[in-house]
Chains A and B, each alone.
Chain A
């Protein structure tokens, strides 16, 4: 992106600082989106200050920046939307998680998704827990009906006579469930996006 050249060095500094804050904000997006957003604001600043004479540049630039608002505020909704598009395209859990965080203020559905995500982390946690304390983690049944999925202390297992039913299959099964759960979340998230 071509930077704007100001005649006044103070204006140059103010501009550089503003663009730096913008860059920091958009860093989470794919590079085309970053460039698209930065170039558009760069163009706006350029078009708004092009006619300024040197000793007016700082005032004019400050005026433009004030009207645009802080990068954090202006960019927030744009980043949230674009991040969501990226997340649902890529299936990358990091992007999906970040997109959910950014969109959590945008409606109840995203809170619901964050909950689904939390459950996913709980599934993944049981896998790790199974490796650490294999005897206390599993899918526990009592008299043929489901009791606990997760971690139970040994005393409780003995007291209620819980039976772990998956055994060595626990990790593979939970891995498959986690993957299926993850795909489900991402598919549902795709449905939220406007379609052409």
Chain B
């Protein structure tokens, strides 16, 4: 096995699916950045590079797919909570349909 090739491919797949992962995890939930990373780790065992998550959240917000609000904490250090917008939900639905289609196709061709 060319493990270097597989490694590169894996990181490409991860990069390409990060937005999809984040939108799925946020679906029906409200998380702040650190919590979101923990949730992703817990549910998928996918290690998310923190450095890519925050720019991604910023982009999703710019595209009106997520909304955020600051919530004061007792510590005095507020958390920024993210939720899906209506548009985010419908966008995710579209992505899920494509994902299912992709999954079926891959299954059909894998031997």
**Which residues of A are in contact with B by a Cβ distance under 8 Å?**
2, 4, 36, 39-44, 46-48, 50, 64, 67-69, 73-74, 77-78, 81-82, 85, 194, 196
Contacts and interface: CB of A to CB of B under 8 A. Distances in A.
Contacts, number: 62
Interface in B34-72: 34-35, 49-51, 54-55, 58-59, 62-64, 70
Q: How large is the interface on B (under 10, 10 to 19, 20 to 34, 35 or more residues)?
A: 20 to 34
Contacts of A73: 51
A81 B58 contact: yes
A77 B79 contact: no
A74 B51 contact: yes
A44 B50 CA distance: 9
Which residue, of B33, B54, B76, B80, has the highest number of chain A Cβ atoms within 10 A? Answer: B54
B20 interface: no
A47 to B, nearest CB: 4
A46 B58 contact: no
Nearest to B58: A78
Contacts of B80: 36, 39-40, 43
A121 B58 CA distance: 32
Contacts of B63: 194
Contact of B51 (A2, A68, A81): A68
Contacts of A194: 62-64
Given A67-B50, A74-B51, A77-B58, A2 B76 contact: yes
A44 B58 CA distance: 15
A48 B79 CA distance: 12
B33 A67 contact: no
B77 A74 contact: no
B54 A46 contact: no
B108 to A, nearest CB: 35
18 contacts: A2-B77, A4-B77, A41-B54, A43-B33, A43-B79, A43-B80, A44-B34, A44-B54, A47-B35, A64-B50, A67-B50, A68-B51, A77-B58, A78-B54, A81-B58, A81-B62, A194-B62, A194-B64
Contacts of A48: 34
A40 B58 CA distance: 11
Contacts of A39: 70, 77-78, 80
B75 A46 contact: yes
Nearest to A47: B34
Interface string B12-47: 000000000000000000001111000000000000
Given A74-B55, A85-B62, 12 more contacts: A36-B80, A40-B54, A43-B32, A43-B80, A47-B32, A47-B34, A47-B79, A67-B50, A69-B50, A77-B55, A77-B58, A194-B64
